[in-house]
Amino acid sequence: MGIFKSSFSFMLGTVCGVYVAQNYNVPNIRKLVNTGIVFAKHIEESYRKPKKKDDD
């Protein structure tokens, strides 16, 4: 009985997650993260200070 009692919330969460993913329009998290990373890189490159050139 101990293993069922200790993992009940995990199993219930898994079942609910599968149900929601199949029946509702859930966004693709990996795609959202990749889009955010690309946007952050673009912002970082556009606001970066220009490199100083040494005049010898």
Q: Are the CB atoms for 20 and 26 separated by under 8 Å?
A: yes
Residue 55, in any domain of the structure:
no
Give domain status of residue 16, yes or no. Answer: yes
Any domain includes 51: no
Domain of residue 28 covers 2-46
In a domain, 19, yes or no: yes
For 24-48, the pLDDT digits (tens) are 998 889 999 999 999 999 999 888 8
Q: What is the pLDDT of residue 55?
A: 53
Give the number of domains in the chain.
1
Secondary-structure breakdown of the chain: helix, strand, coil percentages, each rounded to the nearest 5: 70, 0, 30
Q: Per the domain annotation, does 17 fall within a domain?
A: yes
Model's pTM, two decimal places?
Answer: 0.49
In this structure, is residue 54 part of a structural domain? Answer: no
